[in-house]
Amino acid sequence: MKLLLYTFILSAAFFCGCLVNGGETAVLNTLPTGKFSPLKKPLVCAYMHIGNRQLLLKDMCLDGVDILNLAFTKITNNRIGLIHPGDSKNFMIARDIRGKYPKIKILVSVGGYGTAEVFSKMCLNDSARAVFVDDAVRFVRYYSLDGIDVDWEFPGMNKNTREDDKKNFTSLMRELRTAFDKASKEDGKKYLLTIAAGAFELYLSYTEIREIEPLTDYLFLMTYDFYGQWNKHTGHHTNLYPSDLQPAGHSVERITNSYIKKGVPAEKIIIGAAFYGRKWRNVEASGNGLFQNGKGVGSVSYAKIVPLLKNPKYVRYWDSTAYAPTLYNKEDKIFISYEDEESVRRKVDYIFMKDLGGIMYWEYFSDHQLSLSKAVKSEFDINKGVYSDFSLPLNVNIKNVKK
C-alpha cells in the first residue's frame, strides 16, 4: 500500500518512479567463500576525473555510490602508467575512502579518448599483452584497488588502428579475466573487470561483444555525446528515449536494446548519465533551438549550467518524449543540451523498469554541489521503497520550465 502511495505522490510531483525490485546478488563462483562482500544490483558508479587536482578525503562525498572509477591512467611501454605528478598520492588517498564507505569498490580506468592507437599497438602480439596483463594485476594490488576498467575508444575505428583490433580486444579481455581470477583466488577478494563501451551501433560491429561479455563484470555504456561539436546542427546528447522530432535518432533505450539483442544480459548493462552539456552558437529560434543548424563549441559542466538557469535570457525546455532538457538563449542564439535532476531520475527509473545493472555518471567534479548525484541516490531510494523525500530541486525557476 505504501509503495502505491509513493508512486501516486511522485506522479503528482512530476513523473512516476517505478518501484520495481531489480536487485540481485552477483554470482562469484570462483572465489573462496566468506572472503568478500558481493555487490548487489542495481549499482551506482561514479567516474572521477582527477586530473591535476589534489584529493582531500574530507571533501569527497560518495553517498550511494557502489563503484568509484578513477580516471585515467595511460599505457606506457605496455604497462599502466600515471599521467599527472599527483596521481600516485591521489590513488592512495582515494583508496582510503573505504574508511568512510567500507563497501565501495574502487577501480582504475585505463585509456580514455585518444588512446586507441596505443591500445592497438599493445594488443598486437601475445608477449606485449602479457606484459600489460601482469602489470594490471600488480597495479591494482599496489594501490589496493578492486579492479580495472578498460576504456578503449575504439577498437579498429580510429586512424592508425587495425582490423585485427577486433579479435585482439577479445584476447586482451580473456587474458585479463584469467589473470584477475587467479589473483582473486590468491588474495581472497573479488577483482572486477569492466569496459567503457561505445553507445552506438558501429561499436558493436567492431567488437566481438558476445565473446567479451562473459569476461566482464559490467559494461559501462557511454550513453552521452549523441550530439556534439562534430555535428552541424543541435540535438539531444544524452536522451533516454528517441524524440518524436527524430524518431530514428540515438537514445539510451535504442543502444541498450541493441546490446541486449546481441546477447548481453541486462543485469550487466550500466547506462551512463552526463554531468555536463553540449553547447552550440548561432542557433536560430525555430523549435526553441532543437535540431537546428549551429556551430558546436564543446562541452560545459553542469556546475556552469546551473547559474545560467537563473539568467532570464535562458529558458529551459523539456522534450517529453525524449525525457531530456534543453536550454535556449534566443537573444544570443545559444543552445545547450544537458542533463538535470529530472532527467537523471528518469534514467534511474528506467534501470529499475528494465532490470539493468545500474547507472554510471561522467563525472564527479562536473556536478553542481552534488545535486545530480543526490538526485540519483534519492531516486534509487524511492524505487526501493525506503525513501520519502519527493522533492525535485531542479535549480530553475518554474516559470522558465516549458513542456
Residue in the block written with cell 558501429: 202
> What grid cell was written down for 64?
550511494
Place of cell 524505487: 383
Task: Report yes or no: 180 and 191 within 8 Å, Cβ to Cβ.
Answer: yes
Q: How far is CA 72 from CA 98, 151, 174, 344, in A?
A: 20, 9, 22, 24
Rg of the chain, C-alpha, whole Å: 21
Residue 348 · residue 392 · CB < 8 Å: no
CA distance 187 to 179: 12
Q: Could you give the 3-state DSSP secondary structure of residue 329?
A: strand
Amino acid at 227: Y
Q: Are 337 and 233 in contact (CB under 8 A)?
A: no
> What is the residue-wise DSSP string for 169-208?
HHHHHHHHHHHHHHHHHHHTSPPEEEEEE-SSHHHHHSS-
Helices (H), 188-275: 201-205, 209-212, 252-261
C-alpha cell at 39: 555487490
Kindly give the residue spans of alpha helices, DSSP state H, lying in 29-79.
Answer: none
Q: Are 318 and 325 in contact (CB under 8 A)?
A: yes
Residue 279 three-state SS: strand
For residue 153, indicate whether it is catalytic.
yes
CA–CA dist 373, 354 (Å, integer): 21
Cα Dmax for the chain: 64
List 24, 153, 284, 331, catalytic entry = 153
Main-chain dihedrals φ then ψ at residue 62, nearest 5 degrees = -125, 40
Contact 68, 62 (CB under 8 A): yes
Looking at residue 389, what DSSP letter applies?
-
Round to whole Å and give the CA distance between 71 and 51.
8
Using an 8 Å Cβ cutoff, are 72 and 55 in contact? no
Q: Which residues are known catalytic residues? A: 153
